[in-house]
Amino acid sequence: MPIRKRRQSPPKFTNYRNYRPYLRIDCLYSCAYCEIFETELNGEYSFHIDHYWPKSVHRFAGLKNVYSNLLYTCETCNSIFKKAFFPSVIERLAGKIVLNPFKHDVDAHIDRSKPEWKSKDPFGQFNIELFHLDSFRNCRKRSLRIQSQRMLKNSILDLRRIEDDIRKARGAGRRDLVFRLKTARNECLEVISDAKWLLGRKHGKEDFRR
Ligand SMILES: [Zn+2]
């Protein structure tokens, strides 16, 4: 994924918390650092607004309510790992820069093609260590996400095949196919429901068929 663009154009607020609904959308309902989704934690309430340039540092105080300085992040990345970190000049030269998906091409520094993320350079390594991006928890969630996406893709392909068959069929054969379509649709919904349950462990299993 190249450098992300902010697509929301919120009005100017004097309280940064008002940007939250816009940030959620721009950050795709996921943490800007570890990319965990709301549905993989306890929903929206597990997420914070991070100030890329920390608001507690006097020289960045003017950026407190500036939308481009805000990121939607999980509480762990924000409160436990990043906190008020900002690198000194020497640290920056050593690769200690927090990768911001709206400023940096994260894929140039971290290989994210597999559930286990690997650094490509010192910048990537620094971020993997700072945010524990290769922790068991993160790798497991990514793996489950990929597995669910694959199952869903297969279910959708099944649905399309049956729809094509129905278009061509006549009489009793058509009725059988409509029945198969309904069954496949329910299986598809089951996959979505299971994925939500697997990824957001504390959410109950939802029945989307009602
Ligand atoms: Zn995170």
pLDDT tens-digit profile, the chain (210 residues) = 689 999 999 999 999 999 999 999 999 999 999 999 998 898 999 999 999 999 999 999 999 999 999 999 999 999 999 999 988 889 988 889 999 999 999 999 999 999 999 999 999 999 999 999 999 999 999 998 888 888 888 888 888 888 888 888 878 788 888 888 888 888 888 877 776 655 554 444 433 332
Kindly list the distances between the CA atom of residue 22 and the CA atoms of 53, 55, 89, 163, in Å, as whole numbers in the listed order.
19, 19, 32, 38
Cite the beta strand spans of 34-166 per DSSP E.
Answer: 47-51, 70-74, 110-111, 118-119
- Residue 47 tokens, joined: 């997420």
**Spacing, Cα 205 to ligand 1 middle (Å):** 24
pTM (two decimals): 0.79
Enumerate residues with CB within 5 Å of ligand 1 (an ion). 31, 33-34, 74, 77
